[in-house]
Structure 1
Amino acid sequence: MTQRSPSAASLSQAMETEYARRIALATPTDTARGLFFNGVLSAVITFGGEPALKQCHARLNDKRFERRFIDFSSYPVSDFLRLSLAASQILTSQLGSPETTQRRLGMQATRDFLSSMAGRTVLLLSGDSPKRLLDKIPNAYRSAVSYGERTVTMMGDKAARVVFTRDFMLPHYNEGVLSAVLESVNARNPRVHSRAIGPMDSEYELAWD
């Protein structure tokens, strides 16, 4: 078996530590829709097959994760973080790095939301305009999760800054979310770069051609 380099192991440990910190900060009123749970489980099967799903269930050791979640019911975000961490631990070997794994999970979550009735409505109202779709991010998040705030500032015709405050997901996960948002309206060559600006706050610079 090929062993990961020390740097990769360090990155994985940092990811696990960050997830644990955020799980500890979650309150009972912090929730996310079931479709995001289902998306993580679907991603595990897509990238790792049924054996990976069984590993994920074994790591969680919780029967609640062995059933399908109701898409638009709300569940504790602490459970979503536990599931995302387990999926990341299982999938990192297939996807290459913790950062790549987080981005792929974020992209999957966005695609699942945009394929729902609520998401299709958002896309219909946005047309093919990245600006119109980005403007809808704050309200879309309010319909999907109970926590945090998101603000969008256009920085030109093909650039924007998005700020997440009191957000439980890791910045690389949100990079995947925002990349999938841009791809959904066929933005050319989308680019997303993140930086942490607080314990649960992060800023994202978006650009496209």
Structure 2
Amino acid sequence: MALLYAGALPSRRKTGQAGREDMSTSRWNTMPMDWVKALEQMMELATSEDTARGLFLSRTLDAVRELGDEQSLARCQSVLGSQRLLDFVNYPVTLLVRLTIAAVQELGPRNGGAEQVLRMLGQKAAVGVMTSSVGSAMHTQAGGGNEHIASSIQAIYKVISNYGERSVEWVGPARGRLTVRRSFLPMPYHEGAMLEALARLGAQDARVQGRVLGPLDSEYDFSWRT
């Protein structure tokens, strides 16, 4: 099964009443991204009410354990302090962002850079979700059919996301667009997570192409072979 990554695309042309391109969206997709800086900016926008499942923190540590060394793992674990992680318990999203920054800094130089590491972290998180009781139920339901894959993608994001907004627009039987609003994880992370989830739901030759819309907003065109 081929999984094809794609980075930030040129901004889709958007017109307003005056018929001019949305320059703020264009700016996000024409400038090289410093993903660590982007994560730091995301963290500044978080509130005390924004939380993340422990599953995402645990799978980030798993990635560091597999791709890094003992020193890298120790430095990442120090971000958590004495915090005990349980998969479906909520933790401050700032803790997840801080851990993600540490993982990118530790793994990036030896694993293709920050963007590639973020994709791998997203992939690892999706493995955690899809092998959980929630993901297993979705996988059993999907059975490889297009309608079940489509409904499962929507259901998974609804169950695991407890901040921001997610919406899916279907433009064909095996093609859609996910819009993510107020997310504290960057575009490459979502690309990796979506590709892994689609693959585990039985999608063949899945493709995901992300586009940054703003500091906390992004959208993803995804498709698979029928």
Instruction: Establish whether TM, by shorter chain, passes 0.5.
Output: yes
User: Match for residue 149 of structure 2?
Assistant: 133
Counterparts of 1:149 and 1:49, CA distance in 2:
36
User: Match for residue 64 of structure 1?
Assistant: 82
Which residue among 56, 60, 66 is the counterpart of 1:40? 60
* Matched letter for residue 126 of structure 1: A
Contact (CA 8 Å) 1:137, 1:150: kept in 2 or not? no
CA apart distance, 1:141: 2.8
Correspondences of 1:95-106 after superposition (within 5 Å): 95-106=111-122
Count of matched residue positions in the alignment of Structure 1 and Structure 2: 195
Larger RCO, structures 1/2 (Cα 8 Å, 6+ apart): 2
Correspondences of 1:102-121 after superposition (within 5 Å): 102-121=118-137
Contact (CA 8 Å) 2:51, 2:162: kept in 1 or not? yes
Q: TM-score, normalised by structure 1?
A: 0.85
* Matched letter for residue 38 of structure 2: E
CA apart distance, 1:131: 4.2
| Higher helix content, 1 or 2 | 1
1:206 is the counterpart of 2:226: no
Comparing 48-57 with 190-199, greater Cα deviation is found at 48-57
* Counterpart secondary structure, 1:191: strand
Percent sequence identity is 33
Counterparts of 2:201 and 2:135, CA distance in 1:
12
| RMSD over aligned Cα atoms | 2.0
Counterparts of 1:23 and 1:138, CA distance in 2:
26
1:55 is the counterpart of 2:75: yes
Structure 1 runs (4+) deviating above 4 angstroms are none
Counterparts of 1:130 and 1:184, CA distance in 2:
13
Q: TM-score, normalised by structure 2?
A: 0.79
Correspondences of 1:1-209 after superposition (within 5 Å): 14-58=34-78, 60=79, 62-64=80-82, 67=84, 69-209=85-225
* Matched letter for residue 61 of structure 2: L
CA apart distance, 1:188: 2.0
CA apart distance, 1:144: 2.1
Counterparts of 1:141 and 1:148, CA distance in 2:
11
* Counterpart secondary structure, 1:132: helix
Contact (CA 8 Å) 2:36, 2:104: kept in 1 or not? no
CA apart distance, 1:135: 2.5
CA apart distance, 1:130: 4.8
Structure 2: gaps spanning 5 or more residues: 1-30
* Counterpart secondary structure, 1:198: coil
Counterparts of 1:199 and 1:130, CA distance in 2:
32
Flag the 1:134–1:26 CA change in 2: closer, same or farther, 3 A: farther
